[in-house]
Structure 1
Amino acid sequence: MALEPAKLGRSRSDLAALLRDERKRAGRTQTWLARRCNMSQTKVSNIEGGRLTPTPLDVELMLEALTVSDALSAEILVLARRANTEWQDHWSSRRRGLDKKQNELARLESASREFRFFLLSMITGLLATPDYVRASIADVAGDQSKTMAKKLERQQVLHDPSKSFTFILTEQAVRWPLLPPAAMSVQLDRLVSVSRIPQVRLGVIPLGGYVPERPLSTFTVYDRRLATVETGTGALLLRDHRDVSAYLAEFENYERHAVFGEECREILSEWSEAFTRQRQ
């Protein structure tokens, strides 16, 4: 299925209208449909009103109950997939202000319990030193002090005992010289420190050895309900259980190649010392 960013938002209202029309065509009430699909009447009402985005499974159940034709069902399921996919481009985020994006991420982190980060090319803000955070947004015009403050404030979530975090970083992500050698050494020491937090499991994939996987993007999986995939110009938010499951499986593949615990800390310390030697 081709996903056109301009159509993603509109597909939610289109999907709601089609589902409402098909229920009325079948001569059924919301209460009847809710009972057949093991949903509440309120949920059906919210779906038809566009206030709640149904999962593709919800839509499949509704279409089956209403005996919608195969051809129309296929069309509606395409809309359901689009409705569960959101595109956030960097330019819109920057116009709104990156500090507002940090607020959105903080709310998402507050509502989630289990986090999986695959970091292909950079260190994420939750693991970053102030210097690294500053460098990561250096190309954004204007005063970025609010964004910096919110990024650093979000790091407190790592100490929440009700949550668990797994970070997998490639060697490239860890060693990419975004900062001068001295500051990079401090950043790697920060990774060592974070890896000792009880809720955090931090691993690296060294470039040596044999890794048959072909990583294409940095991505994060929140619980088992949302995957975010970063590109050069924005991010995709995927809620379809098939998409989320695919990224969970991909994460598990990388996890098998990663080094964790004391062995990971030893590698990070070696790389930190290499940066230290560069500044001498």
Structure 2
Amino acid sequence: MSTDFQRAREELGRRLRELRVDSPLGRLTGTETARRAGWPQSKVSKLENGRQTPTDDDLRMWAEAVGQPAVYPELHARLKGLESHIRSWKRQLAAGHAPVQERWNSLVSGARTLHTLSSAAVNGMLQTADYARCVFDYHATLQNAPRDTEAAVRARMKRQEWLYRPGKQLHLLMPESVLRVRICPPEVLAAQLDRLLGLVGMDALNLGILPLDAPLRLIMGNSFSLLDERLVVMEDWHAEIWLDDAESISLYRRVWDTLAESAVYGTEAQRVISRVRRGLTG
């Protein structure tokens, strides 16, 4: 869980405690508040100490329990602020991968420039349909999500049209290890590597490969995308983290720029991809 998210959750907990202590009904104890809300006392403690994220219904119930229903809109806004920064995969994938892909298509559509680090798999903008199919199948199993693989693949392929629109630019970094990961059958990976070879030199794509033996000034972290210097979307196993504050955006851009210094491009990138491709055939 991100530090920023946890800090905001703790701040929300402090606000809940403040409302309880300053209740117009008198200074309520945690036990009294729990009884009025119909909860176990432990839930009040977890909410106030930032150890549990409240639901919208929890906040409405809290406002009523402490005799201050008028503060619910404020609490609701605070919760929305939390949710805008951390987007649970469990919640996002409740209806399958396709809706998530469509939302990403809408998000990316308005961007002119993307700076992306893909540290775990070939970036979705460059995936073949068969490669994407393997990725979605594995993630659906991991997250116990509905299997709508074909719809998700179609949505991801549609997003790739972005690369062919005027004025768009994708600056992409991928470590060589991504080219070697066997998350799909060898023939699917071979076709994926062939596609990458064909895309090197594309006007809208600045593809940098970080060779296995390249000296790095930073440890490779999670995959992330920076959209037009206004939003960072970072991927983790449990959720996407959305960051739109200037400090975080500046930090992630520095991370990208630092790693980019160790990457190879153009003909050198093709050599690395070809080397991996030949090893796969062997």
Output the TM-score relative to the length of structure 2: 0.69
1:200-279 correspondence to structure 2 within 5 Å:
200-277=205-282
What's 2:6 paired with? 4
Is 1:93 the counterpart of 2:125 in the alignment? Answer: no
2:124 alignment partner in structure 1: 125
- Residue by residue over 1:61-98, the C-alpha shift from the partner in whole angstroms, topping out at 9 and shown as x without a partner, is xxxxxxxxxxxxxxxxxx7xx66951111111110332
Query: 1:159: which partner in 2?
Result: 164
Alpha-carbon separation, structure 2, partners of 1:195 and 1:159: 14
Counterpart position of 1:105: 104
Post-superposition shift, 1:244? 0.6
Give 1:213's aligned amino acid: L
- Alpha-carbon distance in 1 for matches of 2:147, 2:223: 26
1:177 to 176, 182, 190: 182
Structure 1 residues 264 and 2, CA, compared in 2 at 3 Å: closer, same or farther?
A: closer
Give deviations 1:115-164, integer Å, cap 9, x for gaps.
01101111121111111101001131423211111111111111112111
Q: Contact 1:227 / 1:237 at 8 angstroms: preserved in 2?
A: yes
- Contact 2:214–2:262 at 8 Å: present in 1 too? no
Unaligned ranges ≥5, structure 2: 16-77, 141-145
Q: Is the 8 A contact 1:228 1:238 kept in 2?
A: yes
Alignment partners' CA distance in 1, 2:167 and 2:132: 26
- Rounded to whole Å, the distance in 1 between the matches of 2:257 and 2:266 is 17
Which one of 182, 187, 204 corresponds to residue 199 of structure 1? 204
- Where in structure 2 are the equivalents of 1:69-80 lying within 5 Å? none
Measured in 2, the distance between the counterparts of 1:175 and 1:189 equals 13
Shift of the alpha carbon at 1:215? 1.7
Match of 1:134 in 2: 133
Q: Which residue of 1 aligns with 2:27?
A: none
* Alpha-carbon displacement from aligned partner over 1:33-71 (angstroms, at most 9, x marks no partner): xxxxxxxxxxxxxxxxxxxxxxxxxxxxxxxxxxxxxxx
Deviating beyond 3 angstroms after TM superposition, the runs of 4 or more aligned structure 1 residues are 4-8, 82-85
- The DSSP-based 3-state class of the residue aligned with 1:3 is helix
Letter in 2 for 1:205: L
In structure 2, relative to structure 1, the CA distance for the partners of 1:240 and 1:123 (3 Å cut) is: same
Aligned partners of 1:86, 1:3: CA distance in 2, in Å? 7
CA spacing shift, 1:135–1:84, aligned 2, 3 Å: closer
Q: Is the 8 A contact 2:174 2:209 kept in 1?
A: yes
Deviates more, 1:243-252 or 1:140-149: 140-149
Structure 1 stretches lacking a partner, 5+ long: 15-78
For residues 186-238 of structure 1, the C-alpha deviation after alignment (integer angstroms, 9 at most, x for no partner) is 11111112223211010100111422311221111001100011111111000
Q: CA separation in 2, counterparts of 1:91 and 1:6?
A: 21
Change (3 A) 1:83 1:89: closer
Secondary structure in structure 2 of the residue aligned to 1:203: strand
Whether the aligned pair in 1 keeps the contact of 2:137 and 2:147 (CA below 8 Å) is no
- Counterpart code for 2:268: E
Counterpart position of 1:168: 173
When residues 84 and 98 of structure 1 are mapped into structure 2, their CA distance, relative to the original with a 3 A threshold, is: closer
Residues in 1 aligned to 2:156 and 2:125: alpha-carbon distance in whole angstroms: 7
- The one-letter code of the counterpart of 1:229 is M
Could you say what secondary structure the match of 2:261 adopts? helix
Identity %: 22
Provide the rounded CA distance (Å) in 1 between the counterparts of 2:7 and 2:91: 13
Q: Aligned pair count?
A: 209
Report the CA distance between 1:177 and its aligned residue.
1.0
Closer/same/farther in 2, CA of residues 2 and 264 from structure 1, 3 Å limit: closer
Match of 1:55 in 2: none
